[in-house]
Structures are given as C-alpha cells and as structure tokens.
Amino acid sequence: MGSATSSTAHLASQGADRVRTAQAARYGSPEDLRVVEGSLEAPAANEVTIETRAIGVNGFDAKMLSGVFGRDESALPLVPGLELAGVITAVGDQIAADGSFTIGDEVVSAMSSGAYATSVNRDAAGLLHKPSDLTFEQAAGLVVVGGTAAQLVAAAAPIEGQTILIHGASGAVGRLAAQLAIADGARIIGTASPKHHEGLRELGVEPVSYGEGLEQRVRDISPDGVDAALDTVGNNEAIDVSLALVGDPRRVFTIAGFARLDSGIVPIDGRPEQPAAEVRVASRPGLLRSLATGRSRSPSLRRSPSSRRQKPSLSWRVVGPAARSFWWSGNRGSPAVRGHASEDGLSR
C-alpha cells in the first residue's frame, strides 16, 4: 500500500510521462495511422496508469477510421483500439487507499477507443485482473470479442435441442459464440471456408461452406430450417439465407449487417437498449476464467513482431498492417499486437 502511494506521488511530482499513440489525423484507412509522441498526466484519484503489453485489433477499429460510423471532425485525431492488456505502473490516490489494484498488477481493459498507445490512464472500475495462466495477447484479444459473442448468444437464448446457424463461425466472435451456444445444449451449424471445417468439427460445430447454394446446404442437414441465426459477416448472403431459414427476422441477430436493418433483423453493437446488453460486460470475468482453465478455446491470435526491450514503443509499421488485416478481412481471430520498438525508438 505504501509503495503504491509513494509511487503515485513520485510520478505526480515528475509531471507528465512520455507516451506514444498510433493516431489518424483524418478519416480514411489504417494507412493513415502514424505514431505521435505526447505526454500522459499522472492518473486521477479513481484511475490507474497501464503500460500496454498487448492490444486487441478488431474490425471495428478499421471501420471507425473509415468514418462509417460518422465523421465527427471534432473527434480528430482518432486513436483506435477497444481492448488492451498490460501492467499497472501508477495508481490514483483513491485506488491506493482502497487497494483494489496495485502497481505491478496485470490487468485487462475494454474501452470505447484509445488502446493504440504505449500507456493509458483508465478508470479502475472498468478493469479486470488478468488470470496468470493467460498471456497478454490472449487476454487482450478476448475482452471485446468475448463480450460480443456472449451477448449474441444470450440474445438468441438457445435452449437444448434448438438449431442455431452462425455465419462466420471460424472467426473470433463466431468461434466463441459457437462454444457458448453448444454449452447451452444447442446444435450449431456454422458457415466457414473449407479450410476451417475440421477445426469447427473439433468444437462440435457442423460446418457448411458459404457461397452460392448456402441455403440448400443448410437445409440438407436441417430440413426444417433453424431456430435462430447469429450473423458476424453482414453481407447480403448471410442476411437473406438467415431470413429464409429462420422465418422470423426477430430471431436473426447481427453484429455486422447494419445496412439490412430495414428487414427487421436485430442489431447487436453494444448499445444499452439492445437485447442482453448487460451480458456484454458481465460475461467478461467468466470468459477470462474459462479460457484460463481450458473450458473454452481462444480464437487464434496472430502476433506481430515484438521487442524484447522493457519499455514498449509502438510503430505504425506494426499497428498499420495489423489493422489492415481486418480492413481486407479473411483472417481468423482478432490478432493481438505487442508494442514494437523500432531502431530509433519511434517510427513515424
């Protein structure tokens, strides 16, 4: 306790710390990300400072950069990133007093934006302790993905014996959603490219290839259609096939098909008025524990190069390609990206 308080006072007396953020000065693509050096003030009373060890790169990041959610010029520059894992390096006075988190704690945080940074200040109320059995990459790549998957499944509320169709079942959200629904006793049919079929079978999913003839391929193994559809893809094929197989648009839930909401399907994007919205946050501790104990399998993570130096330094050469991998899609999982030190310690 004493060390936490003295460290906070020491950092405060030194003033702002250096921090590097990957940010975009305009709406566009991940190519617009550049690393900018700035300062980070000491944490407020209810905050902690987290030194980032891994960030989760999600499809949402590229969409935010593109302006698809709106182009608020006053929000520039944009610092993407919804989730990170790291180590606490400073605590605010309130946190030092209550002892909920201390310097050296390994934590996971979800946020609305701003994770592409070497250090961040975060309200301690939104933090989770990282299980020691999880790597930083595993933890950072699960918080948002896991919460989204849990909300999707909870919204559909499958019961034992029901058949659920998951579009994009080999992706990060789809893979976890399949495991959660199977645990509820549901039968899962999942769309994926053939190269992912064997991995899905190992999870208990019945895989079908997407593309022309998808509806008939599903009917071949489920003649009466399906009880609900969970869409993580968002294209017309996924929505049209879901509507045909389910019949009731209120039983089609999507995290990507927002251009088709006029069909009556149900959007799931984290807004509080949506079905099972409370599950998105409430599920996170349990998902972390399940992954740590092996009760569920993590989506695959692709790592970008990481430095062995103690202090992380972001390079847009790492962050840019990682985000681009979702800009053009086609990859399994949500890659976690470590801070990368360039030759001069700062790439622009």
**Residues 39 and 105 occupy one common structural domain:** yes
Q: Which domain holds residue 330?
A: 2-141+301-337
Residues 229-247 have pLDDT tens digits of 999 999 999 999 999 999 9
On the question of pLDDT at 264 being above 50, the answer is yes
On the question of pLDDT at 285 being above 60, the answer is yes
**Residues 120 and 155 occupy one common structural domain:** no
Give the pLDDT of residue 40.
Answer: 94
Flag whether 343 is in a domain.
no
User: pTM value?
Assistant: 0.74
Element (H, E) at 7: helix 2-14
Flag whether 286 is in a domain.
no
pLDDT top residue among 316 and 58: 58
Flag whether 290 is in a domain.
no
**Residues 24 and 133 occupy one common structural domain:** yes
**Residues 183 and 91 occupy one common structural domain:** no
Flag whether 324 is in a domain.
yes
Question: Residue 104 is part of a domain; what is its CATH number?
Answer: 3.90.180.10
**Residues 80 and 202 occupy one common structural domain:** no
Residues 25-66 have pLDDT tens digits of 999 988 899 989 999 999 999 999 999 998 888 777 888 898
**Residues 135 and 180 occupy one common structural domain:** no
Flag whether 28 is in a domain.
yes
Comparing C-alpha atoms, which of 187, 137, 170 is closest to residue 333? 170
**Domain tally for the chain?**
2
Flag whether 153 is in a domain.
yes
Banded model confidence at residue 296, pLDDT cuts 50, 70, 90? low
- The rounded distance, in Å, linking the Cα atoms of 115 and 142 is 14
Distances (CA, A) of 240 to 217, 219, 250, 285: 14, 14, 14, 35
Q: Are 209 and 189 in contact (CB under 8 A)?
A: no
**Residues 77 and 16 occupy one common structural domain:** yes
**Residues 23 and 99 occupy one common structural domain:** yes
**Residues 164 and 256 occupy one common structural domain:** yes
Question: Residue 253 is part of a domain; what is its CATH number?
Answer: 3.40.50.720
Give the pLDDT of residue 133.
Answer: 86
Flag whether 95 is in a domain.
yes
Lowest average pLDDT, out of 91-100, 127-136, 181-190, 328-337, goes to 328-337
Kindly report the average pLDDT of the chain as a whole number. Answer: 83
**Residues 10 and 36 occupy one common structural domain:** yes
**Residues 121 and 157 occupy one common structural domain:** no
Flag whether 347 is in a domain.
no
107: Cβ contacts below 8 Å, ≥ 6 apart:
48, 50, 85, 86, 87, 88, 101, 127, 128, 129, 130
- The rounded distance, in Å, linking the Cα atoms of 159 and 144 is 25
**Residues 255 and 319 occupy one common structural domain:** no
Lowest average pLDDT, out of 172-176, 240-244, 307-311, 327-331, goes to 307-311
Percent of the chain topping pLDDT 70: 79
